[in-house]
Amino acid sequence: MDIFANLAHGFAVAFSPINLLMCLIGALVGTLVGVLPGIGTIATVAMLLPITFGLPPVGALIMLAGIYYGAQYGGSTTSILVNIPGEATSVVTALDGHQMAKQGRAGPALAIAAIGSFFAGCVATVLIAVLGAPLTKLALAFGPAEYFSLMVLGLIFAVVLAKGSVLKAIAMIVFGLLLSMVGSDIETGASRMAFNIPELADGLGFATVAMGVFGFAEIIRNLDHGAELNRDLVQQKITGLMPTRKDLIDSAPAIGRGTVLGSILGILPGGGAVIASFAAYTLEKKIAKNPSRFGRGAIEGVAAPESANNAAAQTSFIPLLTLGIPPNAVMALMVGAMTIHGIVPGPQVMQKQPDLVWGMIASMWIGNLMLIIINLPLVGIWVRLLRVPYRLMFPSIVIFCAIGIYSVNNAPVDVILAGVFGLVGYWLIKHDFEPAPLLLGMVLGPLMEENLRRALLISRGDWSVFVSRPLSAVLLAIAAGLLVLAVLPSLRAKRDEVFTESEN
């Protein structure tokens, strides 16, 4: 097993004309939708999921990965130009990026964001290739008890790193787990909580729930204060895209630090990319000679978080590809997409479908390169897109989502279900419940149940199996420790501080 042979194989797959095209389309469409304010990465990926259904699995996943990066890059574009972060990961980018734009330096800000992302993407691609194989071996040593504990740890991570109340986030996860139980039981085939509705017999569609809770709910929420969406658009013409030599020298170390931090945080399950960008910004501010420059258009304040979030976005594929456990909601959507294509993510995928795994890894690098090439010239178009008023945009998104959901199974009931989940999501937002853990719970539900059942079957009903097996015990202990830490007032205060810094 040679890393370079694998990567070379991956590039051979990814460089086939059709896959290159998929990657290009994905990156382009992802940016296009990601640029639209008020639509975050998760919503973008959820919305565009159906358009990949007609494709072969490798092409579909390459395209989805492209959509993911594109959406993320689109999010930073809106942060910089209009001060509306399309999503949580680019919230900090808005702090300094928008200031730069106001000073007429939108071009360099966008360019540095793209260059930083690209560099981070290169490092992360190599990292995935290096860590992929050994982690897969580790995964093979996992029994059902370890898997179950690992998923508990992953979910707890997601809770600890999420914004807001710990209790509410756990409640959302359990709600998601419950939703995943609707439909036929895997082992006995008994119909569970389906109320004899034939469309529910197969369970709630993952895309349906995601589109409802993220797509429709966000639209309805935005309509609430639709009038307030007056945009502080940067009107000056963007001149001078290229950063100066000084910009590059200033931002190079920041990009390096952001990449390292992001790569590490991305591997951890939980809100990887979001935390990474916050952490990178905080770090830059701490070590800067003159911290007061931050918030007034410091280029490091754009370079570091953008590199960090891109590095994290990519390394978060590692747990997905090696262990089959999605570390965040976007990866959960990826699992959904893989399942639809009949691929079960996990250690076996690496061995059984090298084309898919290595092709996708290579395409990440290509995708990042494409983002640089296509986005720098297209900035002008994205700016014009931002002037499309919301009153025209939202009905378009509604229709697009509706057609998309219908096309998944050709089932009108799915569309109605998504509408219902849209209202549920709206209610959740109103009560400050975060929908992302719900989605994660829903994806992990079947896996958790299966492993729990198997672990207990093997141990003959003895619950102590989770603490008597050393690996499982360690994982659970870490989870418990994290939970205690999260509830402790001192850390809570710090966590809230990290999140509020961005909101003022």
- The residues that touch other proteins, with contacts defined as CB under 8 A, are 50-51, 53-54, 165, 167-168, 170-171, 174-175, 177-178, 181, 185, 187-188, 190, 192-193, 195, 216, 219-221, 223-227, 389-392, 394-396, 398-400, 402-403, 406-407, 410, 412-413, 415-416, 418-419, 422-423, 426-427, 430-433, 449, 452-453, 456-457, 460-462, 503
**CB of 429 vs other proteins, minimal distance in Å:** 8
The two tokens of residue 89 are 């990961």
**CB of 499 vs other proteins, minimal distance in Å:** 11
Comparing CB distances to other proteins, the nearer of 230 and 290 is 230
The Cα–Cα gap between 168 and 408 comes to 31
Nearest to 272 by CA among 317, 232, 228, 236: 317
* Look-up of token digits 């190079």: 252
Comparing CB distances to other proteins, the nearer of 151 and 418 is 418
**CB of 87 vs other proteins, minimal distance in Å:** 11
The two tokens of residue 212 are 């409802």
Element (H, E) at 183: strand 183-184
Length of the chain: 504
- Beta bridge partners, 184, equal 191
**CB of 37 vs other proteins, minimal distance in Å:** 11
The Cα–Cα gap between 431 and 111 comes to 39
The Cα–Cα gap between 379 and 115 comes to 14
Helices (H) and strands (E) in the chain, counts: 23, 2
Comparing CB distances to other proteins, the nearer of 171 and 378 is 171
**CB of 66 vs other proteins, minimal distance in Å:** 16
Nearest to 108 by CA among 92, 122, 97: 97
Comparing CB distances to other proteins, the nearer of 88 and 124 is 88
The two tokens of residue 111 are 């360019």
Comparing CB distances to other proteins, the nearer of 188 and 490 is 188
φ and ψ at residue 184, rounded to 5 degrees:
-80, 140
The Cα–Cα gap between 445 and 436 comes to 14
Element (H, E) at 411: none
Comparing CB distances to other proteins, the nearer of 225 and 286 is 225
**CB of 481 vs other proteins, minimal distance in Å:** 20
Comparing CB distances to other proteins, the nearer of 250 and 450 is 450
Comparing CB distances to other proteins, the nearer of 259 and 502 is 502
Burial class (CB in 10 A: 0-12, 13-18, 19+), 369: middle
